[in-house]
Chain A
Amino acid sequence: MMFIDPHIHMNARTTDDYEAMAAAGVVAVIEPAFWLGQPRTSVDTYIDYLSTLVGWERFRASQFGIRHYCTIGLNSKEANNEALAEAVMEILPRFATKEGVVAIGEIGYDEQTALEDKYFRAQLELARELEMMVMIHTPHRDKTKGTRRSMDVCLEHGLDPRMVVIDHNNEETVKETLDRGFWAAFTLYPQTKMGSERMVDVVRRFGTERIFIDSSADWGKSDPLAVPKTGRLMLARGIPAADVHKVCYGNALACYGQSGQFDEKDWLAPAPIDQRVLYEGNSVLRGQAPRVDEGPAGDSPVEAMREEDLLIV
């Protein structure tokens, strides 16, 4: 089974993770621009970070046969540093149009301050100007209100909810997100966000329309195999394979495919120029024997896992 992880911070992950993800069937990832666990203090480090997302990290992923895409934005935490935020807003247009940038994101609220609101709105306007999708990070604290407010502001700025992903949903926010026509993403992240058993229940209760899952794996305790593990758990709990496919692959593809930058052909039948530039398989792995390309269905480590190993709680 093929998987897409439409929210993962590969910049913070190791080559072991890439190998495990590829072996588990992950064929494409989206890496949203976010903060690094500590605040940046200048626009120059921001430029280097965003350059990594559109350059080095894309290449690094391609070495493992995984296609890498990203979103570009000023995150809500760093929006609170006004001098930095102003400078970042200046350079964002230069990154937003790069190849493989599927959305402006992840943007939204953290503490729901006035500055967060100001730069959230400025970026929604940028998305409108550049006709781009938006990926919304919903806050950990005061979540329900923050999620509602995020959607209110998107509509206020005239965005089409079909072009907006509300991420980090939970049982309390999903109904409103879907009812208002937005895409609802769920993050399988131990302890703070969704667990995999709960996700099985969400799919049972809310179906699979406009719902998809991601790992948001980053520099914290998180799981880069969260999508394939949860997919496997869904199968084990009797969710039909077609539904699992939608939640773990098809819906993310349909959603971000609207950007024109996220196409199944990229990994199933890459264009020759792309293969030369960004899909070199494993030929450039220094000093290592090339992995025999067993295809996405190969010996998935997740296939062999016991059910309790699939649980993310």
Chain B
Amino acid sequence: MPTPLALLTGWLDRQLDGPAAEWLRGRLAHLAGAHGDRDLYVAVGLVPRKLGKADLALTGDDLGAAHAARKGWDPTGWSVDQAARLALLLTASHRGEAFFEAFHQLWRTADVGEQISFYRGLPLLPEPARHLWRATDGCRTNIKAVFESIAHRNPYPAEHFDEVAWNQMCLKALFVGAPLHPIQGLDARHNGPLARMMTDYAFERWAASRPVSWELWRCVGPHPDDRCLIALERAIQQHEDSLTAGAAALACATSHAPAATALLAHASNDTRKAIEAGTLTWAALCARAGA
């Protein structure tokens, strides 16, 4: 089975034109041997100037190969420069500790595009647990695209974040306007404190007459305390065609808490039927939301 590095270089080779592909091959060959820190810094920095920033053209088979090479790896939405930067890092990583130090320096001086590449590459790098602080620190960013490079389509947080970091990431997603459904492990890592935080947030938003994300109820259903139940009841009774009512009903239906499933009595007949028929799913709601 091809390694992630082999996949990346294969995709890039297929897409890049002559001089660009040649430049990248030359840099990869150089970094595969003995090299200095500056060689890595300059190569990583020059990538967009040399290769451009086009979207990485991937087929369904490519995505399947990515997942097979590294469980959870989802390069959907990657660009050429991001893939190339990661290929350079993976190639240079044979230097062991010297690589980690150089990578630390690269991270210190990374621009927005580089930060996104590095965070997206987290699960592919050697010894990924060493970058845990970087990943949690990256979640503190105010730059939405950087935040999403960690939170979305990335197996790293679910694998490495402790509960505090995980919950903060999920809640922050709502604050920066990032959807929840691209977060890998969202259903597997539900927990009581997260349900409470999401519920408090919903009450805050209601008090301020601001809209509440319909996705939030997905994190509330599995662990409904009394206050969560009050919130779910309120949400489920919103206009029956609304995403919120559907999401709250679905959260109740999939909950193992009897008090939550009992709230389904407040849902419309159509909603209940759709849940029973299996047509009201999180994926269906996302499709309706256009997300």
Give A contacts to B, CB under 8 Å.
Answer: 47, 50-51, 54-56, 58-59, 91, 93-100, 260-261, 271-274, 276-278, 280, 283-284, 286
Q: Which residue of A lies closest to B106 (CB)?
A: A94
A47 with B42: CB separation less than 8 A: no
Q: Which residues of B contact A91 (CB under 8 A)?
A: 109
Q: Which residues of B contact A51 (CB under 8 A)?
A: 108-111
A97 with B108: CB separation less than 8 A: no
| Closest beta carbon of chain B to A262's beta carbon, Å | 12
Q: Which residue of A lies closest to B113 (CB)?
A: A99
Q: Known contacts A94-B41, A280-B144, A284-B144: does B112 contact A55 (CB below 8 Å)?
A: yes
Q: Which residue of B lies closest to A286 (CB)?
A: B175
Q: Which residue of B lies closest to A274 (CB)?
A: B53
Q: Which residue of A lies closest to B145 (CB)?
A: A277
C-alpha spacing A278/B175, complex, angstroms: 19
Q: Known contacts A94-B45, A277-B116: does B109 contact A59 (CB below 8 Å)?
A: no
B110 with A55: CB separation less than 8 A: yes
Q: Which residues of B contact A98 (CB under 8 A)?
A: 45, 111, 114
C-alpha spacing A273/B149, complex, angstroms: 13
User: Among A93, A94, A274, A283, which residue has its beta carbon within 8 angstroms of that of B177?
Assistant: A283
C-alpha spacing A236/B14, complex, angstroms: 56
B109 with A273: CB separation less than 8 A: no
A276 with B145: CB separation less than 8 A: yes
| Closest beta carbon of chain B to A88's beta carbon, Å | 12
| Closest beta carbon of chain A to B107's beta carbon, Å | 10
Kindly list the 6 A-B residue pairs having the minimum CB-CB distance in the complex, ordered from nearest. Answer: A97-B45, A54-B111, A98-B111, A277-B145, A273-B79, A59-B143
A271 with B112: CB separation less than 8 A: no
B108 with A47: CB separation less than 8 A: yes
Q: Which residues of B contact A97 (CB under 8 A)?
A: 42, 45-46, 49
C-alpha spacing A41/B174, complex, angstroms: 39
Q: Which residue of B lies closest to A261 (CB)?
A: B49
Q: Which residues of B contact A272 (CB under 8 A)?
A: 55
A284 with B177: CB separation less than 8 A: yes
C-alpha spacing A25/B142, complex, angstroms: 26
A contact face: mostly helix, strand, loop, or mixed:
helix
1/0 per residue B65-104: CB within 8 Å of A? Answer: 0000000000001010000000000000000000000000
The answer, yes or no, to whether B9 is at the interface (CB within 8 Å) is: no
A93 with B111: CB separation less than 8 A: no
Offer 22 A-B interface pairs, CB within 8 angstroms, sorted by A.
Answer: A47-B108, A47-B109, A51-B109, A55-B115, A56-B142, A58-B111, A59-B112, A94-B41, A96-B45, A97-B49, A98-B111, A99-B48, A99-B113, A260-B49, A273-B53, A273-B54, A276-B77, A276-B145, A278-B112, A280-B144, A284-B144, A286-B175
The answer, yes or no, to whether B38 is at the interface (CB within 8 Å) is: yes
A93 with B176: CB separation less than 8 A: no
C-alpha spacing A56/B112, complex, angstroms: 8
1/0 per residue B23-43: CB within 8 Å of A? Answer: 000000000000000100110
Most buried by B among A55, A95, A276: A55
User: Among B41, B55, B111, which residue has its beta carbon within 8 angstroms of that of A55?
Assistant: B111
| Closest beta carbon of chain B to A57's beta carbon, Å | 10
User: Among B77, B109, B113, B145, which residue has its beta carbon within 8 angstroms of that of A50?
Assistant: B109
| Closest beta carbon of chain A to B193's beta carbon, Å | 24
Question: Within residues 176 to 232 of chain B, which ones have a CB less than 8 A from any CB in chain A?
Answer: 176-177
Q: Known contacts A276-B145, A284-B177: does B109 contact A93 (CB below 8 Å)?
A: no
| Closest beta carbon of chain B to A62's beta carbon, Å | 9
Q: Which residue of A lies closest to B46 (CB)?
A: A97
| Closest beta carbon of chain A to B20's beta carbon, Å | 14
Known contacts A51-B109, A280-B145; 8 additional CB pairs below 8 A are: A47-B109, A56-B143, A58-B112, A93-B38, A94-B105, A96-B45, A98-B111, A278-B145
Most buried by B among A96, A97, A283: A97
C-alpha spacing A56/B143, complex, angstroms: 8
Question: Within residues 143 to 178 of chain B, which ones have a CB less than 8 A from any CB in chain A?
Answer: 143-145, 175-177
A273 with B55: CB separation less than 8 A: yes
C-alpha spacing A54/B113, complex, angstroms: 10
Q: Which residue of A lies closest to B52 (CB)?
A: A271
1/0 per residue B221-245: CB within 8 Å of A? Answer: 0000000000000000000000000
B55 with A95: CB separation less than 8 A: no
Q: Known contacts A97-B42, A271-B53, A272-B55: does B109 contact A277 (CB below 8 Å)?
A: no
A95 with B112: CB separation less than 8 A: no
Q: Which residues of A contact B109 (CB under 8 A)?
A: 47, 50-51, 91, 94-95
Q: Which residues of B contact A260 (CB under 8 A)?
A: 49
Q: Which residues of B contact A261 (CB under 8 A)?
A: 49
Q: Which residue of B lies closest to A287 (CB)?
A: B210
Q: Which residues of B contact A283 (CB under 8 A)?
A: 177
| Closest beta carbon of chain A to B38's beta carbon, Å | 7
C-alpha spacing A280/B176, complex, angstroms: 12
| Closest beta carbon of chain A to B57's beta carbon, Å | 13
Q: Which residue of B lies closest to A275 (CB)?
A: B145
| Closest beta carbon of chain A to B119's beta carbon, Å | 12
Q: Which residue of B lies closest to A44 (CB)?
A: B108
Q: Which residues of A contact B145 (CB under 8 A)?
A: 276-278, 280
Q: Which residues of B contact A55 (CB under 8 A)?
A: 110-112, 115, 143
C-alpha spacing A50/B45, complex, angstroms: 14
C-alpha spacing A271/B38, complex, angstroms: 30
Q: Which residues of A contact B108 (CB under 8 A)?
A: 47, 51
Q: Which residue of A lies closest to B50 (CB)?
A: A97
